[in-house]
Structure 1
Amino acid sequence: MMSLVLAMVWTRRGQAVTLALLSLFAVAAAVASPAYLTAIDRAVAAGQIETSTPGERSLVITGMQDARVDSGAPDFTDVGAALIELPGFTYVYGSSYPIIGLRPDNDNADRMVFRQDVCAHLRIVSGRCLVGEDDIVVGAATARRLGLTAGDQVSLTSAAYVEIPQPLWVKDGDPRRLVIAGTYAVEDPEDVYWGTHGYFTTLPGVGASEPVFTGATTFSTMDHGPTDLSIDGLAGPGALDPDRLGELRAALLALIRKATEIGPDLQVNTAVPALLDRIDSGRATAHLLVPVLAVPLVLLACFSIFLAVGYGTEGRRPELAIVALRGTRWWTRWWLAIGESLAAILAGAVAGCLAGQLMVNAVAAARFPGVGIEEGWASLRYAPYAALAALAAAVLAQRRQLVSPVATLLRRPVTAGRHRAITLDAVIVLLAVVSVGQLVITGGSLTGVGLLAPALVMLALALLAGRALLPLVTRYASGALAAGRLGPALAGFQLSRRPGAQRLFALLVATVAVAGYATCAIDVAARGRVVQAELGVGASRVLEVEPVYRSRLLHAVRQVDPEGRFAMAAARLRNSDGREPLGLAVDSTRLTTVPTWPDGAPPAGEVARALRPEAPAAPTIGGPDLRIKATAGGIVKGKELRLNVSVSSLTGLGETLVALGDLRPGEWTYKQRVDACDQGCRVNGFQLQVNGNVVGVTGEVTLESVSSDSAWLKDANRWRMPRHGRISTAPEGLRIEVDEPGGLPDGAWVQPADTPYPLPVGFAGGDPSGDMLTGLDGRPMAVTGVFDLPVVPRLGGHASLVDLEYADRLATDAAPALLPEVWLNSHAPADVVERLTAQGLTIRSDTRSAQVLRQLAEQGPALSLWFHLLAGGLAVLLGAFVLVLAAAVDRARRVEDLSALRVQGLRRPTMSRATLWTYPALVGIAAVTGMLTALAGWAATAWALPLAGVDPVDLPLPSWPRVLVLAGTTVLVLLLLATVALATGRDLRRRITPS
């Protein structure tokens, strides 16, 4: 019996090979999915590690110790055992304490620092590095500023900070004379070696920090007080092995737990868990996206086997009739019926196990070079299920032939319509509806039946399209016959009357739909990553700046780029508490040249003009000596008013709130020296305060002149006082009347009307409730919406946009900007950082949209879509194989029919049209229908796909693919399938007996 089955296989070896290939596809798809997920788990980890920041690859253990006091200070040896559990880390020991004596004043202290192997990370500008005791090295910029050179001796003392009677650093130990062995510079202050200690931080009004480095002996023997201790752990390649990330997380938790047990003085700070969380999130997303097309690929392969076996069985009906006629037992009849298919399917299944793994290996080697593939048998866990599904499809395709009587088997079928087939189609349609319903109910959770939604929707639509085909083709063929077009009529009737034509069409539609769905996912995700990288960053490059005054930020950027060609200053409004949209303040004069502007937004030029309309010039003073002549009256004892003035330097020297003291009755001149106004200042406003939390505050003051200038005090229309009183014009100057029964906890402000008021603002996500936003100084700011934006660059779809200079003029604080940034476009010069540093800005971080795009391309969503590309290609190949098999099975009967027609006078050109265009016409209709099916499936399910990167900003990401991309995919699929169809038609034409 076995030899008979093998003979049958050999006789129809073409069909057997095709069926084996289809089985190979089914099992290979089932193997490829877990194999690809295994590879992508490693690739996600490797990609995120490669693109991580130094802080995400390091840890720092900090503590405080005072050698003078036995305070039970932490001993780092207590965490030694936990550090051993972190293999692959290299550790750098460091310690520091404040010192004075290097600078001529004690307003600010320097840092005495010991850091292990520091000389290997310094560039010595003059002199030498540390060699013996009493050696120190100082920063080259500090040495130039203080007039120090290598070889000089300095007397340094440990310092402590006191606030009474005034903030100051005072001696906290015995002085010690030390020798400046050399001066240094640091090539890369952001190098992971320096950790997160802020050695080179720039402080407002102080300048760049350059610590004093010394050796271990000098550091420990110098008399000093409390010492900051640290151990920096730098992760090497072995520590971040993708296969050992779970062990790393457990070891970090153990280290943190050990530090907690030792006491609160010991802290472990690390961003490694955040990196691990991002890796886990990317892996989880990939495990959702890969099955989205792996499932339809397996179902499509089983459907192909069902169709192929059904076609093959139709061609073997006479054989099966003879077997049944001989009265063989049922198991023999079954074995002869399914044995041929069973042998081919099993052979294909075995080959599919190897093919699926090799295919993933090839893709991983090409796309993830150097990552490697984890060895093991885990990828084969679904192979038996896929093989069983293939066998079940084969048995199901032959179910009628196995039980039909001889008469039925000998009769040639003319139609494929059956009540059971209708029932099966109805069940699939119902399952598709249920799966989409679950997606909606669960909010897009790709679990359970919801994971099958894309596959079921496309399969259901393909089956419905197949059922709609036959009536349309029959009508067309009848019309062609009536019109005398015999070739198209014969081709049409061949399709409409051929058993299985409906399911063949449905299969072709489904294959194109899978390829189309994969194309949609790949194109939408790729464009979404571009949007995230460009709009999410805000510009081609964004430099985060150390804390700096807003006026200094604006001045520095405008000095570096006076024409506004490549740089723009930006800062945040202080409204990030969730009760109102995030706010971004930018130098809107550069809005048309620097930021990435969103599609669908009003032109950047129009928005810039609306945010920054013409406004009067701001009142200014010309030097550091501030003198205000004022006459006060109506002052109540115990409720004396105090006069403050908020000023901002015109040259970026800073901002300050100048306290002039209590107002005295009568005419007085109030004086104060303001160093920040050495090159001129802008007056932001006058503040009247009271001593203590008193109520019922009244009083009057007339400002007659400010630094001998009185012109801009003569017109009350140039000033505004929103609350707590009123202003008016007096002959002497500007009269301010305060009348506030509830007290003045924040003071009464009088500000110049040098900005539009309310402040123009552009909103994304609709106007907020009310007409107020929190300003740069944290106080309420009246605003008016001038434009609706689809998105604010960098902040997302629920944010506000204002002009930085106008918002700064409205602000009355003297605090540094919140998250100051410098945005750059692609035309920024290579030395832009050096230019900004020369203007007093210190760059904290440098984010580039290209870098972010690369990071997004290494996250789980992007990497998983390579499997979609693979699945789309395999789906089209499945359709091509089934098309070949259908033509091969159908060939004998069509040769017989058309040869008979040729004998009866059918012309050869007519016969050629009937043979050549039957399947190409089917393919053409299927390609268009399949792409429409893909779009319908995309509309129903794509909203649930996590295509964006991990923790995406609220941006208007694209949701539909580009028309040209879909059209190109349709043409490619059509060309491939049409080529196969034409080849089968040519083969059929050659076999027809000539007349």
Structure 2
Amino acid sequence: MISLVLAMVWNRRGQAVTLALLAMLAVASAVAAPAYLIAAERAVAAGQIATAPTSELTLAARRTSDSLEEPSRSVGIKFPDVGRVLLLGLSGFTFYHSAEVPTVGLLPTKDLPTRFVFRQDLCAHVQLTAGRCLAGEGDVLIGEKTAQQRDLAPGDTFSLTAARSNGLARPPVWDPDGAPKKLTVAGIYRPTEPTSAYWGLHGYFVSGDGIGPGEPVFTTAGTLDTMQRTTTAMAIDGIARPGTLDVDRLDQLRADMLRLDATAAELEDSLQFDSGIPHLLDRIDEGRAAARRLVPVLAVPLVLLACFTIYLTVGYGAEGRQSELAVVALRGARWWTRWWLATGESLVAVLAGAVAGCLAGQLLVNGVAAALFPGVGSAPAFTSLRYAPVAAAAALVAAVAAQRRQLISPVTRLLRRTPPADRRRLAAAEAVVVVLAIAAGSQYFLSAEPLVGVGLFAPALIMLALGLIAARLLLPLVNRYAVRALGRGRLGVALAGLQLSRRPGAGRLFALLVASVAVAGYAACTVDTAARGRDVEASLGTGAERVLVVQSVSRQDLLTKVRLVDPEGRFAMAAVRIPGSSTSPPGLAVDTKALAAVPAWAAGGPDREGLGRLLHPDEPPPPVVFTDQDISVEVNAVTSGVMQLAVSVSAMDGSGFQVVEFGDVKPGTHTYRQDVAICENGCRLNAIRVSGTGSTAEVTGDLVIRGMRTTAPPPLDPGRWRATQSTRLSAASDGLRAELTVTGAVADTAWIQPVTTPYPLPIAYAGKPPVDGTIIDSGATTIPVAATVDVPAVPALGRTGVLIDLEYSDLVSVAPKAVPQPEVWLNADAPADVVDRLSQQGLQVVSETSAAQVKAGLDEQGPAVALWFHLLAAVLAGLLGAGALALTVAVDRARRTEDLTALRTQGLRPRPAGLATLWTYPVLVVIATTVGLLVTAAAWRLTGWALPLAGLTPPDLPLPAWPRLTALLAAVGAVLAVHFLVAILGGRDLRRRIEPR
């Protein structure tokens, strides 16, 4: 009996090979999904490690000691032994010791301390611009800017004294506390890589308002040993060596981090363990979770499509050999013999294909992983085969189910060339699929829940159900059209249409081709939508092609220097971020002169040139400028109590801002004068301030500003000045009258400003405008704004934020303090030496972020890595459809050859015969592709929103929800080309067989 089955396989070896290949694709699909997940998880880990910031590659054990706790203030620096014990069992890290003491004596101010630092192996990580490296006790290295400002050179000496913060002073200051330490400048340094992992998380070179100049004084451990100290911060920093953070060591690394946390918790309270590595591991886990959600989205429909393909093709093959099975039944063969002869041929082919599919699936993923993730590997494991038995069993069940009619039908039914369709069972099965699809699609569309659990079957069920419905609706229309064509004498069209509409199983073939196209189209939707989303995240999320953070400067200085580098605003734009509050969203102040050329822009946003004119409609009038350090204001005052007078000024050269205090306002006419150092090259008047003296009692006053010592007497017309709400301005015979009421509260302070901008300032906003009509200024005050234009998103901020002109925001500010982290945005046209040009203007770059770097990082995250499987699924889906079509054509060939040959013998002309042979299946393919395109759109509309294409925590950006039509048509067109080629080749072979020789 086995030999007979093998003989049957050999006699129809073409069909057997095709069926085996289809079974191989089915099992390979089931193997490829878990195998690819293994490779994807490794690739996600490798990508996140490669793009991790310094903070996620280091760890540190820290301890802070205070001289109050350790009476001997000259005790030597002793790094915590417990720290060494804590890190002892951790391999793969290079450890560096450091110690730091706050000091005063080098800087002219005591507002901030000088960081006096020892760091192990320092000289290998700095560039000496003068002098030598540290050698003995008392040697120090100072930074370039510090040396220039303090006029120090190698060999010079100065003293530092340990300092302690005096919180009672307002504002707090650092007071000396100990004996001065005489130091010698051994050299002047410049850090070679300020952001490298060597420097750990100490932020030595971060500068800004309230932070300091960002240039520590480095010394030796011996120098700190012999110095009287206040607070000493000691640390052991661990820097991961290459290969330590490896995809194969992540479990061990996580265990080490947990052990260190647990051990540190049991040790002394003053010892702290800190590391960003757990954050990196958590992000890797999130990326892997996203991959585990995305891969099954098309793995499930792919396996179902494979089983449906086997069911269809085996059913077609069984119908093609019904006469053989009828003979077996007629001879009275026992049921097991009949069963074996009916199913053996198909089962042998399916089983052989299933065995080959286990190897093929793993080899396919190996090849894909080697191409996509070089150096990572796919790490073959038996776990990738866990679904292979299920897929093989499903394929065998589908093969047996497809032949159920041949197993149980009587001889008379088997002898019929066109057996009756089992419409009730078929309709019931289709109804079940449709109901499940409606339930799954409706649940997720209405509940807004992501695709998880059983929901992963929703796209597959929807695509299959829509394909079956389309077959039910379209094939009767094809039959009606064929009947009409027959009545009109169009025999070729009629024969082709009747073959499509009345052939048993034609509806299932049509549904299968629709599903094949839909799977490929759905894959194109996911890949293209995700790719465009990553582009938006990289460009609009970053703000521009490159974003440079520079050292702290004022807004005026930033704007002036960036314009000197790029006067026309073609490639560089000054930008300052504005913090949000409970009543106003975060904002971005930019040089609107460069708005049209530099930043990324959201699709559907207003024209940028027009927006720039709306945000900056006019050139500001000339400011009120004090020519030199002698700042004076003449005021005639009548008050009911004590008031204080001050003016806020900003240096014209950008060197700083200062509120010049004149003291109490005196009754009568007086000139108030102060010598202000920052105004050596001139100062701009920001505002005149009148305030109370700390009491809550109201004080009223009538002040007449009669004149100021400026380049030209400023106009004192009330229309050229504005004031806070509690102040009323009017004209006086000899100046500008201000009638005001103030208290000691900051909120009741009166500010009088020259009018240099529109007021309130126009803004563009995304989301909702500020609730109270103000945004936060760089100081403690707010800026009134008027919502002018609604935009889809603000670059770098997203769908919630405001956009304002930087120059106007600086001019309207009453206290324009230095910006902690000002930015310079660049587009792709920026010259290669733009950083040097900025440095020449005094803008030192602290850090840089580029859209290309962000894009590269996004490409390494879980969603992007997982979606490569969708492309693989699209290819496999197209092959499954082509294989099913090829086997169907092969099975139909014998019967159609007989029918058409007989018709040709009876006088059917060659042209109608050619149409019937060549275009039957190509027309089916074209219709199925068109319907498959519509099914793709419907399935994507119902389920695409739930896919984590932008990660588990997508940014608040207007990410694309639909793919480009060109990408979708390209994918569907590729499947159409393959299917159409198979159909044409089958038709040509059939035509050759029926033509007389």
Band the TM-score falls in, shorter-chain normalisation: over 0.9
Match of residue 114 from structure 1:
118
Measure how far apart 1:775 and its partner are.
3.8
Encode CA deviations 1:282-315: one digit per residue, 9 max, x unaligned. Answer: 1111111111100000000000000011001101
Higher mean alpha-carbon deviation, 72-81 vs 673-682, is at: 72-81
SS in 2 for 1:971: helix
SS in 2 for 1:407: helix
Measure how far apart 1:804 and its partner are.
1.6
Match of residue 613 from structure 1:
617
From 567, 580, 587, the equivalent of 1:583 is: 587
Give the AA of the match of 2:613. R
Measure how far apart 1:770 and its partner are.
5.1
SS in 1 for 2:948: coil
From 413, 425, 428, the equivalent of 2:418 is: 413
Measure how far apart 1:275 and its partner are.
2.1
Please say if residues 36 and 378 of structure 2, whose CA atoms lie closer than 8 Å, have aligned partners that are also in contact.
no
Please say if residues 572 and 818 of structure 1, whose CA atoms lie closer than 8 Å, have aligned partners that are also in contact.
no
Higher mean alpha-carbon deviation, 682-691 vs 129-138, is at: 129-138
Establish whether residue 86 from structure 1 lines up as the match of residue 85 from structure 2.
Answer: no
Q: Please give the alpha-carbon distance, in whole angstroms, between the structure 1 residues aligned to 2:110 and 2:463.
A: 76
Match of residue 196 from structure 1:
201
Please say if residues 136 and 212 of structure 1, whose CA atoms lie closer than 8 Å, have aligned partners that are also in contact.
yes
Compared CA separation, residues 355 and 447, structure 1 to 2 (3 A): same
Q: Please give the alpha-carbon distance, in whole angstroms, between the structure 2 residues aligned to 1:406 and 1:137.
A: 102
Give the AA of the match of 2:2. M
Match of residue 812 from structure 1:
814
- Map residues 299-698 of structure 1 onto 2, 5 A cutoff: 299-413=304-418, 416=421, 418-577=423-582, 579-614=583-618, 615-636=620-641, 640-698=642-700
Compared CA separation, residues 724 and 512, structure 1 to 2 (3 A): same
Compared CA separation, residues 165 and 338, structure 1 to 2 (3 A): closer
Match of residue 802 from structure 2:
800
Establish whether residue 748 from structure 1 lines up as the match of residue 750 from structure 2.
Answer: yes
Q: Please give the alpha-carbon distance, in whole angstroms, between the structure 2 residues aligned to 1:415 and 1:95.
A: 90
Compared CA separation, residues 747 and 101, structure 1 to 2 (3 A): closer
Give the AA of the match of 2:625. T
SS in 2 for 1:232: strand
SS in 2 for 1:676: helix
Encode CA deviations 1:154-181: one digit per residue, 9 max, x unaligned. Answer: 4554444557889765544444444433
Match of residue 77 from structure 1:
81
Q: Please give the alpha-carbon distance, in whole angstroms, between the structure 1 residues aligned to 2:779 and 2:131.
A: 47
Please say if residues 131 and 188 of structure 2, whose CA atoms lie closer than 8 Å, have aligned partners that are also in contact.
yes
Give the AA of the match of 2:533. G
Measure how far apart 1:218 and its partner are.
2.9
Measure how far apart 1:539 and its partner are.
0.7
Q: Please give the alpha-carbon distance, in whole angstroms, between the structure 2 residues aligned to 1:521 and 1:440.
A: 17
Please say if residues 63 and 74 of structure 1, whose CA atoms lie closer than 8 Å, have aligned partners that are also in contact.
no
Please say if residues 122 and 187 of structure 1, whose CA atoms lie closer than 8 Å, have aligned partners that are also in contact.
yes
Higher mean alpha-carbon deviation, 402-411 vs 89-98, is at: 89-98
Please say if residues 693 and 743 of structure 2, whose CA atoms lie closer than 8 Å, have aligned partners that are also in contact.
no
Q: Please give the alpha-carbon distance, in whole angstroms, between the structure 2 residues aligned to 1:821 and 1:260.
A: 40
Q: Please give the alpha-carbon distance, in whole angstroms, between the structure 2 residues aligned to 1:741 and 1:53.
A: 49
Encode CA deviations 1:744-791: one digit per residue, 9 max, x unaligned. Answer: 644122222211112111111244545344444353433222211111
Match of residue 961 from structure 1:
963
Match of residue 934 from structure 1:
936
SS in 1 for 2:249: helix
Higher mean alpha-carbon deviation, 459-468 vs 357-366, is at: 459-468
Encode CA deviations 1:20-71: one digit per residue, 9 max, x unaligned. Answer: 1111111111111111111111101111111122222112333222467428
Compared CA separation, residues 581 and 104, structure 1 to 2 (3 A): closer
Higher mean alpha-carbon deviation, 41-50 vs 770-779, is at: 770-779
Measure how far apart 1:713 and its partner are.
5.0
Match of residue 765 from structure 1:
767
What TM-score do you get using the length of structure 1 for normalisation?
0.95
Measure how far apart 1:833 and its partner are.
2.6
Compared CA separation, residues 790 and 206, structure 1 to 2 (3 A): closer
Q: Please give the alpha-carbon distance, in whole angstroms, between the structure 2 residues aligned to 1:823 and 1:594.
A: 7
- Map residues 11-50 of structure 1 onto 2, 5 A cutoff: 11-50=11-50
Compared CA separation, residues 468 and 295, structure 1 to 2 (3 A): same
Give the AA of the match of 2:689. Q
Please say if residues 205 and 653 of structure 1, whose CA atoms lie closer than 8 Å, have aligned partners that are also in contact.
no
Please say if residues 82 and 251 of structure 1, whose CA atoms lie closer than 8 Å, have aligned partners that are also in contact.
no
Q: Please give the alpha-carbon distance, in whole angstroms, between the structure 2 residues aligned to 1:366 and 1:682.
A: 62
Please say if residues 365 and 378 of structure 2, whose CA atoms lie closer than 8 Å, have aligned partners that are also in contact.
no
Compared CA separation, residues 106 and 818, structure 1 to 2 (3 A): closer
Measure how far apart 1:879 and its partner are.
0.7
Encode CA deviations 1:811-862: one digit per residue, 9 max, x unaligned. Answer: 2235333642211112223233333334443433211011111111111111
Please say if residues 708 and 714 of structure 2, whose CA atoms lie closer than 8 Å, have aligned partners that are also in contact.
no
Compared CA separation, residues 117 and 741, structure 1 to 2 (3 A): closer
The Cα RMSD (Å) is 2.5
Give the AA of the match of 2:885. L
Q: Please give the alpha-carbon distance, in whole angstroms, between the structure 1 residues aligned to 2:655 and 2:690.
A: 25
Please say if residues 413 and 419 of structure 2, whose CA atoms lie closer than 8 Å, have aligned partners that are also in contact.
no
Q: Please give the alpha-carbon distance, in whole angstroms, between the structure 1 residues aligned to 2:963 and 2:91.
A: 46
Q: Please give the alpha-carbon distance, in whole angstroms, between the structure 1 residues aligned to 2:108 and 2:676.
A: 20
SS in 2 for 1:129: coil
Compared CA separation, residues 98 and 70, structure 1 to 2 (3 A): closer
Higher mean alpha-carbon deviation, 752-761 vs 203-212, is at: 203-212
Match of residue 896 from structure 1:
898
Compared CA separation, residues 705 and 67, structure 1 to 2 (3 A): same
Match of residue 922 from structure 2:
920
Match of residue 61 from structure 2:
61
Match of residue 860 from structure 1:
862
Q: Please give the alpha-carbon distance, in whole angstroms, between the structure 2 residues aligned to 1:887 and 1:505.
A: 13
SS in 1 for 2:926: helix
Compared CA separation, residues 326 and 924, structure 1 to 2 (3 A): same
Q: Please give the alpha-carbon distance, in whole angstroms, between the structure 1 residues aligned to 2:263 and 2:704.
A: 65
Encode CA deviations 1:47-103: one digit per residue, 9 max, x unaligned. Answer: 111112222211233322246742899963223343234332221111122345556
SS in 1 for 2:248: helix
Compared CA separation, residues 474 and 294, structure 1 to 2 (3 A): same
Please say if residues 44 and 282 of structure 1, whose CA atoms lie closer than 8 Å, have aligned partners that are also in contact.
yes
- Map residues 84-163 of structure 1 onto 2, 5 A cutoff: 84-100=88-104, 102=106, 109-162=113-166
Measure how far apart 1:872 and its partner are.
0.3
Measure how far apart 1:463 and its partner are.
0.8
SS in 1 for 2:135: coil
Compared CA separation, residues 949 and 835, structure 1 to 2 (3 A): farther
Q: Any unmatched runs of 5+ in structure 1?
A: none
Higher mean alpha-carbon deviation, 107-116 vs 19-28, is at: 107-116
Please say if residues 138 and 182 of structure 2, whose CA atoms lie closer than 8 Å, have aligned partners that are also in contact.
yes
Give the AA of the match of 2:911. P
Give the AA of the match of 1:506. A
Please say if residues 204 and 547 of structure 1, whose CA atoms lie closer than 8 Å, have aligned partners that are also in contact.
yes
Q: Any unmatched runs of 5+ in structure 2?
A: none
Q: Please give the alpha-carbon distance, in whole angstroms, between the structure 2 residues aligned to 1:347 and 1:331.
A: 22
Compared CA separation, residues 957 and 888, structure 1 to 2 (3 A): same
Measure how far apart 1:436 and its partner are.
1.1
Compared CA separation, residues 412 and 24, structure 1 to 2 (3 A): same
Measure how far apart 1:598 and its partner are.
2.0
Measure how far apart 1:739 and its partner are.
3.1
Please say if residues 685 and 749 of structure 1, whose CA atoms lie closer than 8 Å, have aligned partners that are also in contact.
yes
SS in 1 for 2:858: helix
Measure how far apart 1:565 and its partner are.
2.2
- Map residues 182-193 of structure 1 onto 2, 5 A cutoff: 182-193=187-198
